[in-house]
Amino acid sequence: MNNNLINQQITIQNTRADIIGELEAIIQYENHLDVTENPQAKQIIRHIVAEEKMHVGELFGLLFHLDPESKKQFELGYQEFVEGRK
């Protein structure tokens, strides 16, 4: 395996790990929302959650660019979800 291919695989795996990190952050912030009664804190945390969700989308875009097979499987899984709801 050449260095470019190895680097590509590392970047793909790091992107997946980054997606996990962003999802964990969303869970943590939403848990904070559940326990605070401070309106200012809620406003700031909601804003941060929205940004984290955008980061997830950006990272999936990067993953799908780097690994088209992941995009294909994601789309197939999404189609199964949609068809299962009919």
Decide: 45 and 36 in contact? Cβ < 8 Å: yes
30-66 pLDDT, tens digit each: 999 999 999 999 999 999 999 999 999 999 999 999 9
Q: How far apart are the first and last CA of the chain?
A: 45
Does 1 score more than 80 pLDDT?
Answer: no
CA-wise closest residue to 24 among 13, 34, 32, 12: 32
- Report the C-alpha gap between 21 and 19 in whole angstroms: 5
As a whole-number percent, the residues of the chain with pLDDT over 90 amount to: 95
Can you give 12-61 as a three-state secondary structure string? Answer: HHHHHHHHHHHHHHHHHHHHHHHHCCCHHHHHHHHHHHHHHHHHHHHHHH
